[in-house]
Amino acid sequence: MRFLLITATLFPIISFACSTSNEKGFEPYAIKNGETSYRVFFPVSDKASQPMFIDGITLVVEEVVGTDLVMSIDNQFASAQFELQPNAVNSTTIIGSYNFGDKEGTILAFCANWKAFKLKDLLESGENV
């Protein structure tokens, strides 16, 4: 047990991250559905050479709240809808968590593989979809 603990501390933390960069073709976006309603879309796969698959979407409003969103998945995108006051858009971050080793979600990888984007940037990307 001690050997395992000592060995684990010798590895840098980054070695536990499966993919830290945004790969070509990885293009999440968001759309506004009304005055206070938004929907975010994240690709099901992170498009890495050894792809990881989405297991959650989190909404964080700075100094206010952080919560997991209920998502639905189609063939290409995972999406989640939420309500948000327009004055909170600039302080909101959406995080896609990519920690499944397969599309079905039966293989969990302990990667800390998060893709974080400002909501305002996702909305700008959504204008081009």
pLDDT band at 12 (very low <50, low <70, confident <90, very high): very low
- The per-residue pLDDT for range 34-76, each reduced to its tens digit, is 999 999 999 998 888 888 889 999 999 998 899 999 999 988 9
Residue in 55, 66, 54 with CA at minimum distance from that of residue 94 = 66
Sign of torsion, CA 7 8 9 13? positive
| Angle at the Cα of 87 from the Cα atoms of 64 and 60, rounded to 5 degrees | 35
What CATH number labels 26-126?
2.60.40.10
Higher pLDDT among residues 85 and 103, named by residue: 85
Token duo for residue 103? 């599309």
For 103-125, give the secondary structure using H, E and C: CCCCCECCCCCEEEEEHHHHHHH
